[in-house]
Amino acid sequence: DTAVSQTPKYLVTQMGNDKSIKCEQNLGHDTMYWYKQDSKKFLKIMFSYNNKELIINETVPNRFSPKSPDKAHLNLHINSLELGDSAVYFCASSQAGLFSYEQYFGPGTRLTVT
Amino acid sequence: GDSVTQMEGPVTLSEEAFLTINCTYTATGYPSLFWYVQYPGEGLQLLLKATKADDKGSNKGFEATYRKETTSFHLEKGSVQVSDSAVYFCALSLNSGGYQKVTFGTGTKLQVIP
């Protein structure tokens, strides 16, 4: 069973379009994240949700809007796509609580904006 | 703010060579420390972790010791294999109010040649 899944795996689209990436985890975790990884492999946190509530919102353009319909899902919608949005986007999840827990990552969605 | 500094790559080694990837951190409080590995085309996965000073994390022949006095968590392996070729990320995690804030290093690419 896949722990953290993302769809689609590849997404090629033109500038100005709107697209969504879906993420689901079956681990029973309360916390989910979105990361952006650029071509140099630098990983940057974008958002974090705990039990459907937004808890981390880094300096991300408001063209990016996360939505968590339930604690097992965290989707990412991107409006008016730009060339600089081309990257690999990773969803991750972890337990919440008083300690620090490992994160479980999805396989990534490679977004190419032309 | 919190930060993680890793040695720049790529690191190229021959099979069976000794590996060290340096990682130092700056954090307010007492973080947990992690090493994640990313194989080509995949998401990150946990390699090892340590939650307090002097703890040693180990997995698949890799080791790292949490050194509070030098704020370091260097990754080592005695004899690398071609299958170890990947990008390695050092990370710290701090828990605040039940939520984790994770900070990743920039990643170090390891290439092992036969």
Question: Region A26-32: what's the mean pLDDT?
Answer: 93
What is the pLDDT at residue A50? 86
CA distance B22 to chain A (A): 17
A20 pLDDT band, cuts 50/70/90, is very high
Q: Give me the residue from A43, A55, A98 closest to B104, CB to CB.
A: A43
B86 pLDDT band, cuts 50/70/90, is very high
A53 pLDDT band, cuts 50/70/90, is confident
CA distance A99 to chain B (A): 6
Q: Up-side HSE of residue B28: CA atoms within 13 Å toward CB?
A: 4
What is the pLDDT at residue A82? 97
**Cβ atoms of A29 and A104 closer than 8 Å:** yes
What is the pLDDT at residue B9? 87
Q: Give me the residue from B31, B42, B102 closest to A103, CB to CB.
A: B102
> Does A50 contact B93 at a Cβ distance shorter than 8 Å?
no
- Residues with Cβ < 8 Å from A26, sequence gap 6 or more? A1, A2, A3, A72
What is the pLDDT at residue A90? 97
What is the pLDDT at residue A64? 95
What is the pLDDT at residue A46? 93
The tens digit of pLDDT for each residue in B20-79 reads 999 999 998 889 999 999 999 999 999 999 999 999 999 999 999 999 999 999 999 999
Q: Which residues does A contribute to its contact with B (CB < 8 Å)? A: 4, 31, 33, 40-43, 45, 48, 50, 55-56, 90, 92, 94, 96-108
> Does B100 contact A100 at a Cβ distance shorter than 8 Å?
yes
What is the pLDDT at residue A56? 78
CA distance B32 to chain A (A): 6
Query: For the ranges A6-15, A17-26, A93-102, B13-22, which has the lowest average pLDDT?
Result: A93-102
What is the pLDDT at residue B96? 74
> Does B95 contact A103 at a Cβ distance shorter than 8 Å?
no
Chain A residue with CA closest to B88: the answer is A41
- The rounded percent of chain A whose pLDDT value lies above 90 is 75
- Number of A to B CB contacts under 8 A, please give it: 64
Q: Give me the residue from A40, A92, A102 closest to B49, CB to CB.
A: A102
Is A59 or B34 the better-scoring residue by pLDDT?
B34
Q: Is B6 left (phi over 0), alpha (psi -120 to 50) or beta?
A: beta
Chain A residue with CA closest to B94: the answer is A100
Chain A residue with CA closest to B51: the answer is A100
* DSSP β-bridge partners for residue B12: B111
**Cβ atoms of A94 and A29 closer than 8 Å:** yes
Residue B102 DSSP label? E
A98 pLDDT band, cuts 50/70/90, is low
What is the pLDDT at residue A36? 96
What is the pLDDT at residue A95? 86
